[in-house]
Amino acid sequence: MDEKRNIALFAPATDVQEWEALREPLLNGHLISGARVEAFEREFARKHRVRYAIATNNGTSSLHLILVALGIQEGDEVIISAFSWVSAINVVLYCGATPVLVDINPDTFNLDIQEVANQIGKRTKAIIVSHSFGLCANLQAIAALAPEIPIIEDATCAIGSQYGYNYAGSIGVAGAFSFHSRQIITTGDGGMVTTNDEQIAEKIMALRNHGASLSAAQQKLGPKPYLAPSFNLLGFDYLLSDLQGAIGLIQLQKLDDLLSFRQYWAEYYYQQLKDLPWLKLPRAPEGYTHSWQKYVCCINEEISPLSRNQIMEFLQVQGISTRPANLAIHTLTYNQIRFGFEEADYPTARDCALKSLTIPLHNRMSSADFEYVVKKLQQI
C-alpha cells in the first residue's frame, strides 16, 4: 500500500534567494515603492518585449487601472468571459460600465470567438480577453472582429505564455498580470500592467499613485526636491512595495526554469492519463506555448465511475488537494440579483464550473508526488 502523501494544489517557488533579496530594502530602510520596483519593472518589460511595465499591488488593480486609463465609464459596455474570477466583472462595475458576458470554448476555456462577434455592439468600448490557466486566447481572431475596439489582456494567470512569438500581455492595448501566491511567480500579492502605448503608461503611472504627477523616487532624488507633485487625476493607492519588488526580481529570474518544469510535468500527466475515457485533459494548440498555471481537466460524468464531487472527495482522502477550475460568474448571487442572470444563460461556463477538476501542478512537487497523483486517478 502506498504511503499517503500530502500534496497541496498550489505552492510558491520561493527559497533562500528571496529571503536574501529582502536584506537590501530592509537594511537601507526604503520599504515603499522605489529602486527594487523600478528594476523589476525594467526586467519585466524586457522579458515581455514591451515598452512599459508598471507595477501595482495586485492583478485586479491592474485591470481596473487599464479600464480607467481607457476612459471606460457609465454607458459603456465591456465584453468579458463568463468563466473567470470575480475580479473580471468587478473592475467593469467599478467604472460604472456594463459587463457583457460571453460563453467559452470548452476545449480551451477561453472566449468563444463567434459568441464575441455576436455581442459586439455600438456601446462596446473594450474586450477583456482572459488567457485561462496559462493558455493564450486567439487574439488575432478576436481583434479581427472589430479592430477599433481595444483588447485588454487578462494575463493574470498567463505569465510566460506565448501566442506564436508574442508573449501574453504584449499583444493587446495593455495586459494585466498577477503575482498572487497561487501564480507561477509571486510577490505574495502584486500585479503588473504592460503596454506599448506611452499615453496609457503615463496615465497608469499617475493613477496608481493617487494621481500624482511625480513618483516618490522622483521627488526624493530629483534635482529640485522642493517640487511637489500635481494631482490632475482622481487616482488610487495601488503601489507595489520595494520588499515585493525585491522578491519579484528574483522570481522573474527563475521564470524560464519554472515554466520548463511545469511543461514537462503537464506532458507527463497527459501521457499517463490520456487513456482514462472519462477524463478530458487539456492540450495546447499548435503555435501556442502554455504556461500551465493550473492543470484543469473535465469529468465526463456520463461514463465516469464517480461524479466530479465524489472524485474530489476521494482525492482529498488520499491527501491530494483539488478544486473546481473557475467561477461561472453569472451564477454568483450578487450578479444574479443585479443583472437577472439565469443558470442556463451561459451553459458552457456553467458546465465547466460544475465538471472541471484542477489537480496539483506546481514547482515544489517531486516526481513521486506526480506519480502518486496519477496512480490515484487511475484507481478510480
Examine the domain organization and report whether 192 and 292 are in the same domain.
no
Do 63 and 161 have their domain in common? Answer: yes
pLDDT tens digits, residue range 244-253?
999 999 999 9
Quick: pLDDT tens for 34-78.
899 999 999 999 999 999 999 999 999 999 999 999 999 999 999
Residue after which a domain boundary falls, among 210, 228, 252: 252
- Gyration radius (Cα) of the chain, Å: 21
Neighbours of 237 (CB within 10 A): 9
Q: 10 Å Cβ neighbour count for 198?
A: 10
Longest dimension (CA), the chain: 72
Taking the C-alpha atoms of residue 114 and residue 227, their distance in angstroms, rounded to an integer, is: 53
- On whether both 33 and 163 belong to a single domain, the answer is yes
Task: Supply the range of the domain harboring residue 368.
Answer: 256-378
β-strand 288-289 against 174-178: which pairing, if any?
unpaired
* pTM, to two decimals: 0.94
* 101 occurs within a structural domain: yes
Where do runs of H (alpha helix) occur along 70-209? Answer: 87-94, 113-119, 139-145, 198-207
Distance CA 183, CA 119 (A): 31
pLDDT digits (tens, 9 = 90+) for 209-242: 999 986 655 666 666 766 777 888 999 999 999 9
Q: How many domains does the chain divide into? A: 2
| Share of residues in the chain with pLDDT > 70 (%) | 96
The three grid cell numbers given for residue 202, joined into one nine-digit string: 503615463
Q: Is residue 7 domain-resident?
A: no
User: Is 4 domain-assigned?
Assistant: no
CB count in 10 Å sphere of residue 53: 22
